[in-house]
Chain A
């Protein structure tokens, strides 16, 4: 519709802007120049008026001068008596000349000969000059005589000097020509008195001319500029002297010059206006061109959009915003919903929406209608014709200008049922994995670069008792047992260098909330590069049971190995010991059989007795050893050690006295240990006996027995001042079976062995410190 308006405004002018502009230009130019022409005429007329005024004034002035001259000449003539004499020429003349500034002198010219002049000095050279004999002046003089009236001759060069006009009045006495009464008017004076110069005022020049009386040529008397054109002149004819006076404008072109800038301005203005008109007229053309282009584009884009609308892979429908009725829908939309075109346009959009979703949609629609929003999008379900639901992404945009009343809107429908299904599946998967992760007995942590646990599974609480992990990095590592901390950090370094590679079997102890340690087997995986993780994934498996079993197994293994070693040793000792006895028996019996000597035989029997005694002793010792090593269930009972020591000292009092020994009992009253009473007796007797046995020859034995409690455990110390033993040489052999280090006949190498075994059977330990010739300290560490 807008199109038509533009078209109707097209007229001849706007279609031919150049011609229109030129016409307007010419029109304005003609009008302007016509006005200008009239103005020019006025100026010319004004000048002519001015010139005629000037000529009039000049004419009057000159006429006045001449009249003055005439009256002066007449006054002089009246002084001439009948005889032709002038009685008082000087007096009369001076009165005439001095009182009249227009006159420069007077003279009498009887018979054409100049006789008297005033002022004399200036004009004396003209005296006796006969003007009638001068061909230049004779004509004019004769003319005056002839006409019998005043005639001004000249201007000409005076005989006495200077350019002047001479007014000559013929004087007749009794009708007979006497001569002339003449007045001299200097030409300069005449011009000055005419007022020409003042009147001209620079604007006009003047010229004064006279036809030469002899030659008849026009003679000019004023200096004139060459460029003065007489054609512009105004002429005054003065009959008294037959003169012409011209008034000539100095700048004949002036009116034109004055008007020229105006003419240029007019031309310029006309041009500008013409151009302006051209410019204005051109606009509709340009506009209509643009409109044409735009409408072309519009049509094109409408076609394009129509095509897009119909061919789009997403559903689009236009809906009446007030009623909610579907106005039109594209193919995809129809396909999505399964309705035909006719069916769809009878439907309300709510009819194809899932009832659970309409609430949100309606409230959004309300906002759209009220111009609160211009568009909205949401995910909702549509109902297909076959009753099935379809998940779509809905985009609604208003189609009315902002702020105006709602008309219709476009709804873009994108089928997202596949995405929704995938998302649902993802959620289910996530749920499944989460439940797998959260219900597993492994603790899974995600630790970020700062060492903070950003995720942990609920199993954390089950296994360690912690509700959550402190977010400070240092705290996480502080949970690791100090002995493993360094190696765990190294594993982290390793993980750091190998992103994505699980670092397995990182075994460590971890402190629980209950301040004890559990063994965990960790797998560290550096997933810093994984966007969704951005940290180290640490899987922790509680392996405390396994580790403890392993440790126990190792302990058992060590114990068994130790036992085995002991047994081997025992077997060796037994074989050696018993064999030595048996070989002795064998040898003695052999000798007994060979030797028939009765004394010898008695000796052999005695020897056999001795060997049998030794064997008995050995068997006794071995029995004792075996009983310790085999009987693992020996009863332990709380024992007050001090009482037992007192008893032992009592038992050994005889031996002590014999050695002049001194026993210091420093065992505290409160020392009570869980020990087998028989073992305790045996141990105390053994150590005291030992100390007495290996006492130093040079001093009486002093045996000090003391005890102290260190970190809940009793340590008993037996210190003597005996011979000591070279531990560098014998070391742990001290406690070996049948290990004897002196030639002392009483030492059998059994006591310490048995004591050590008894202590160890009770879970204790024994240590020895010794210095040769100074003494020995045995330390018993009770369990």
Chain B
């Protein structure tokens, strides 16, 4: 069974790191990387939603929250089939609190992302299926 994951983050270093980690974890067999939320939206318009989306909060032009608001508005139904995780270096309580108000958000992951984070995501995918 193929599992797809999208990573949306403007930090190129992080992108390189997460790529390594995801590859090594072998949980997902499909993955795509976006340096901006805008690019991800363009892609969403062309293909089906991935199983998991990992999105950063602080990004130029469109931040994580704006991205989520857009999805809520434009892809209401498709959103239900995806697990969305906020991945941020922020440990600000306000951000965590805000994330809890989005029922579409499955979890809040504080950087750095590690194995155990991916394992949890895997478990949640299994449960949801």
Which of B43-51, B74-82, B83-91, B99-107 interfaces with chain A?
A: B83-91
Question: In the bound complex, do residue B112 and residue A576 qualify as a contact, i.e. CB atoms below 8 Å apart?
Answer: no
Q: Of residues B14, B17, B90, which shows the largest number of chain A Cβ atoms within 10 Å of its Cβ?
A: B17
Asked whether A562 is an interface residue with its Cβ less than 8 Å from the other chain, the reply is no
When each residue 348-392 of chain A gets 1 if its CB lies under 8 Å from chain B and 0 otherwise, what string results?
000000000000000000000000000000000000000000000
C-alpha gap A572/B38 in the complex (Å): 25
Secondary structure type dominating chain B contacts:
loop
Pick the contact of B92 from A575, A584, A738 — CB < 8 Å?
A575
8 Å CB interface, A178-196 against B: none
8 Å CB interface, A409-440 against B: none
Question: In the bound complex, do residue B17 and residue A587 qualify as a contact, i.e. CB atoms below 8 Å apart?
Answer: yes
Pick the contact of A572 from B17, B90, B110 — CB < 8 Å?
B90
Residue in chain A with minimal CB distance to B57: A576
Question: In the bound complex, do residue A576 and residue B20 qualify as a contact, i.e. CB atoms below 8 Å apart?
Answer: no
Query: Which A residues are CB-close (under 8 A) to B16?
Result: 607
Which of A266-274, A450-458, A741-749 interfaces with chain B?
A: A741-749
Asked whether A41 is an interface residue with its Cβ less than 8 Å from the other chain, the reply is no
Asked whether A591 is an interface residue with its Cβ less than 8 Å from the other chain, the reply is yes
Residue in chain B with minimal CB distance to A614: B13
When each residue 109-122 of chain B gets 1 if its CB lies under 8 Å from chain A and 0 otherwise, what string results?
01111100000000
Question: In the bound complex, do residue A572 and residue B13 qualify as a contact, i.e. CB atoms below 8 Å apart?
Answer: no
Q: How many residues of A contact B (CB 8 A)?
A: 27
Evaluate whether A587 and B113 lie within 8 angstroms (CB atoms) in the complex, with A576-B88, A579-B91, A580-B14 already known: yes
C-alpha gap A610/B92 in the complex (Å): 26
C-alpha gap A741/B38 in the complex (Å): 12
Question: In the bound complex, do residue B13 and residue A584 qualify as a contact, i.e. CB atoms below 8 Å apart?
Answer: yes
Query: Which B residues are CB-close (under 8 A) to A548?
Result: none
When each residue 10-41 of chain B gets 1 if its CB lies under 8 Å from chain A and 0 otherwise, what string results?
01011011001100100000000001101000
C-alpha gap A587/B87 in the complex (Å): 14
B62 to chain A, nearest CB (A): 10
Asked whether B129 is an interface residue with its Cβ less than 8 Å from the other chain, the reply is no
Question: In the bound complex, do residue B13 and residue A579 qualify as a contact, i.e. CB atoms below 8 Å apart?
Answer: no
Asked whether B4 is an interface residue with its Cβ less than 8 Å from the other chain, the reply is no
8 Å CB interface, A588-612 against B: 588, 590-591, 594-595, 607, 610-611
Asked whether A586 is an interface residue with its Cβ less than 8 Å from the other chain, the reply is yes
Question: In the bound complex, do residue B11 and residue A740 qualify as a contact, i.e. CB atoms below 8 Å apart?
Answer: no
Query: Which A residues are CB-close (under 8 A) to B20?
Result: 591, 595
Question: In the bound complex, do residue A583 and residue B36 qualify as a contact, i.e. CB atoms below 8 Å apart?
Answer: no
Query: Which B residues are CB-close (under 8 A) to A742?
Result: 60-61
Question: In the bound complex, do residue A743 and residue B36 qualify as a contact, i.e. CB atoms below 8 Å apart?
Answer: yes
Question: In the bound complex, do residue A583 and residue B112 qualify as a contact, i.e. CB atoms below 8 Å apart?
Answer: yes
A724 to chain B, nearest CB (A): 14
Question: In the bound complex, do residue B90 and residue A588 qualify as a contact, i.e. CB atoms below 8 Å apart?
Answer: no
Evaluate whether A590 and B60 lie within 8 angstroms (CB atoms) in the complex, with A576-B92, A580-B11, A584-B14 already known: no
Query: Which A residues are CB-close (under 8 A) to B24?
Result: 594
Question: In the bound complex, do residue A584 and residue B91 qualify as a contact, i.e. CB atoms below 8 Å apart?
Answer: no
Evaluate whether A749 and B17 lie within 8 angstroms (CB atoms) in the complex, with A579-B90, A586-B112, A590-B112 already known: no
B121 to chain A, nearest CB (A): 16
Query: Which A residues are CB-close (under 8 A) to B35?
Result: 743
Query: Which A residues are CB-close (under 8 A) to B114?
Result: 587, 590
C-alpha gap A595/B88 in the complex (Å): 25
Question: In the bound complex, do residue B17 and residue A740 qualify as a contact, i.e. CB atoms below 8 Å apart?
Answer: no
B123 to chain A, nearest CB (A): 21
The interface of chain B, by Cβ under 8 A from chain A, is 11, 13-14, 16-17, 20-21, 24, 35-36, 38, 58, 60-61, 88-92, 110-114
Q: A576-B90, A577-B89, A741-B61 are in contact. List 12 more A-B contacts (CB 8 A).
A: A583-B89, A586-B112, A587-B17, A587-B111, A591-B17, A611-B13, A740-B61, A741-B60, A742-B61, A743-B38, A743-B60, A747-B60
Q: Can you name 7 A-B pairs with beta carbons within 8 Å?
A: A584-B13, A584-B14, A587-B114, A594-B24, A741-B60, A742-B61, A743-B60
Closest 7 CB pairs of A and B: A740-B60, A583-B111, A580-B89, A583-B112, A579-B89, A587-B112, A587-B17
